[in-house]
Amino acid sequence: MIRYGASISLDGFTAGPDQSKENPLGVGGMQLHDWLRRLAVWRENHGEEGGVETASTEVLKAAGANLGAYVMGRNMFGGGPGPWGDDPWNGWWGEDPPFHLPVFVVTHHARPPLECEGGTTFTFVTDGPEAAVALAREAAGDRDVLISGGASVGRQCLAAGLVDELQLDLVPVLLGVGERLFDGLPTSIELEQTAVVEGAGVVHLTYRVSSTR
């Protein structure tokens, strides 16, 4: 199964404007992860102590179960737009990124794969989201592929009919500007609401996706 997962503002943005090293999720975008950074399970996975257990804990654990590979966009991997240069950006996450699986990064700029500690490998795919999903599906075998963030990649995969399930963490904030996940998508996309979990400052929404095309 191919899943798309992202935190999304009530006005439909998965990141604010002007993503940068200082603002990986764009200006104001970190508010989208307030609910996440409070969780003990997230903090442990990111090498931080403390945190709480909420209804979101189980949701996060379930989302991480049965995964075989990730797909993400260039903005989520980071390092700004354009060629990688001589001292390329190696992601936001340090030497041991929290994925522990193959990750396929959709980018316009080729570079060799990047192998990190803990089983995370980043493979850079230059022929589009569909190609990245195909590679991830192969790498994942019987397990799921999670398209993890990036409004642009998510939108392209939805439009191409590649997404079986949508996992949105709806956050009560208005970002006003940024990139919208749902913009210019074919209305032939059909959604079935399959799960709703109320967290603290977040609602976890799951939809089965099909297309009548």
Residues that bind a copy of itself (CB under 8 A): 10-12, 28, 170, 172-176, 180, 182-187, 189, 191-193, 196, 198, 201-203, 205, 207
- 196: helix, strand or coil: strand
Q: How far is the CB of 72 from a copy of itself (least distance, A)?
A: 22
Q: How far is the CB of 188 from a copy of itself (least distance, A)?
A: 9
Measured in degrees and rounded to the nearest 5, phi and psi for residue 199 equal -100, -170
Task: Give the separation between CA 4 and CA 119, rounded to whole angstroms.
Answer: 22
Cβ-based nearer residue to a copy of itself, 62 or 134: 62
Bridge partners, 103 (sequence order) = 70, 122
Q: How far is the CB of 113 from a copy of itself (least distance, A)?
A: 35
Q: How far is the CB of 12 from a copy of itself (least distance, A)?
A: 5
Q: Give the DSSP letter string of 57-87.
A: HHHHHHHHTTEEEEEEEHHHH-S-SS---SS
Cβ-based nearer residue to a copy of itself, 131 or 200: 200
Cβ-based nearer residue to a copy of itself, 11 or 44: 11
Cβ-based nearer residue to a copy of itself, 135 or 165: 165
Q: How far is the CB of 138 from a copy of itself (least distance, A)?
A: 29
Chain-centre distance of CA 42, in angstroms?
15
Contacts of 121-126 spanning 24+ positions with Cβ under 8 A:
122/77, 122/91
Cβ-based nearer residue to a copy of itself, 12 or 64: 12
